[in-house]
Every structure is written in structure tokens, then in C-alpha cells.
Structure 1
């Protein structure tokens, strides 16, 4: 087993603690996944233990992952960061590696795209972000980078979203920008 593989495994007590946290959150927020049963989700997690490390990283960085959808075609459960604000442990990042490298001074410690990939999650698309907002009021004080269309990224821009005045807004910024109140949300299929 390689060092990387070993580093991405949880100890038994970490797995148990994470599953218990996810179960409590699932049961507390049934509006996010009406008609789904926790036992089915837990069975899927037990069938795919490699996904637990990613969920642990989502939790560790403040994402509060929860089930937000079920793909009836593939049987996958879709987890998404459901923290009230953009995950606190994933803020102050620019959009991607190219943007990070383009900064001459005051570089952030990481980029949203690269960090999401390292965690094993996908950045939400603008459409997924809007769907998440139908399940609650998220990012009332923060904002979250979302997957940016190539046509915009090629011109140096990137897209982020937030919710203000009971409305979901989609904005643009230079991909190299970063702010203490902007992070990113992701999703994971299990």
C-alpha cells in the first residue's frame, strides 16, 4: 500500500464517529432528502469505504456534508457541503492553479479547483448551487466559487455565488482574486 493510500484511510474510530455525525445530520435535516432512508445511505457508505476519507475532509474543513439527492439511475447518493456559510476551513483561495501562479504577491495558500480535486470532490456548478439554495438559505454572509465555464476562464474570469436579499446571485471576478469570506462548496457521489 502506498503512502498516499495509507494517508487517505480513516481509523476505525474516525469512521464510526463520521458515520454517526452524518446520521445525526441526515435525521435532523429530512427536508434535504425526503423519501430517503439513512440505512440505505449507510449501506452505500459501507460498500464504498474509500469515500469516507473525502466525507471526513469535507467535515474537517467545515462543510457539514449531507445527502441532497439520489440518482435513481446509478443508485448514487449525492452529498453536498451544507454548512450555513461557505466552509470556514476552505476560504481565502483563488479559483485555480493558473490563477494562483499568476499572482506576483500575497498568494493564497491554495486554489478552489485544486483543493477540491485533492479532497476528491467536485466544485458545484451554478445550477447545483441554485438547487442547494432550494434546500435552505446558504452563504448569507459569505460567497462560494462555482465551476466556471471554460469560455469565461479563458478570459481570466471565474464565477462565484451567494445569497443576499432572499435571492441567489451569480457574480464574476478575476480568477486570481481571493477573500476571507469566499470559499468553495463541493459535492460527492457515493
Structure 2
């Protein structure tokens, strides 16, 4: 039996019992594949499609080789490089948090940080292919197909049906994949 990762939030507006708050489980879908297979493009396009349908999407990107989010010389960069543990940049329409970590975080520990946000309907994750939970493989060519046997694999995005064990969705028809995800994970 596979243990699935969960993001659970307390629904503050609804009370089923005066002493007990309701619990909302947020579905999590991971996307994996080789470098340059189109994972980020797929996740970005799905985010656009599903957001356009009114769903609230969170996206998590695993940058195994590190990343830069700030511009050298900017105020937030100066604060972080001065040793701040956490820098929050707040604008009119968004907030960005840049936080120091001492080790690579597990997906579950990242999901735990989302617990307080009840305004999320679905979490799309790029990477973390070894974590349990529903996964979609992004395949550019037949040589990049991972071996069969991943019980968590629910679909592929590819140029053709390279696998027989799960449905595939073409790169150019991600609306079909969005419909599959909405039907399976978002609609009651």
C-alpha cells in the first residue's frame, strides 16, 4: 500500500460540529521526465487552463541544482545576502518569500508549509518523482520512457502513445488532460 502525501487545510469558515473544524485535502499531482522534456511548459499550461476555469492552483518546482530568484544589487538581494533568514517581498498583487534552508526539503515538508492556505484547490509539482502519489510522466521521445511498474503513474504527456498501461495526452491538447484532472480530482 502506497502512502500518499497530503496537503490538508483547516476550513475556517465551516464547522460541522461546534468543537471540530472540517478538513480539506488538497490533491497533489507530480510531473516528472528527463531534462528538456517540457515539464515546466506542461505545468504552466495546465495552470493557465485550470486557473481560467476558476480553480486555484499552487505550483511547486524542484530545482535540484539550485536557483536564483533575486537580482544582484536589488534591496531584497541585499537583505538576503546580509544574512536574513527570510525575506518577504510584497507588491500590489503578489508576495514572494526567499528563505534559507539547511538541507533539501522533502515534498511533504513543503506541503506542510501550504497547510494554512485554504484557497488552493490543486497542487501541481514538477519533480520529486520518487515521492508517492499520482504522477504524470512527460516524454519527448520513446527512448525517454521510464520502465513500467510505477503504481502511481496516472497518465503521460507525449507525442505518441509510448506506454500501454496509462492514457496519454498530446502536448498540443492539454485541455484534455486538464479535463481529466478536473474530473478525477476537483469535481465533487
Same fold, TM-score > 0.5, yes or no: no
Larger Rg: 2
Of Structure 1 and Structure 2, which has the larger fraction of its residues in strand?
A: 2
* TM-score, structure 2 normalization: 0.24
Of Structure 1 and Structure 2, which has the larger fraction of its residues in helix?
A: 1
Structure with the larger RCO, 1 or 2 (CA within 8 Å, 6+ apart): 2
* TM-score, structure 1 normalization: 0.23
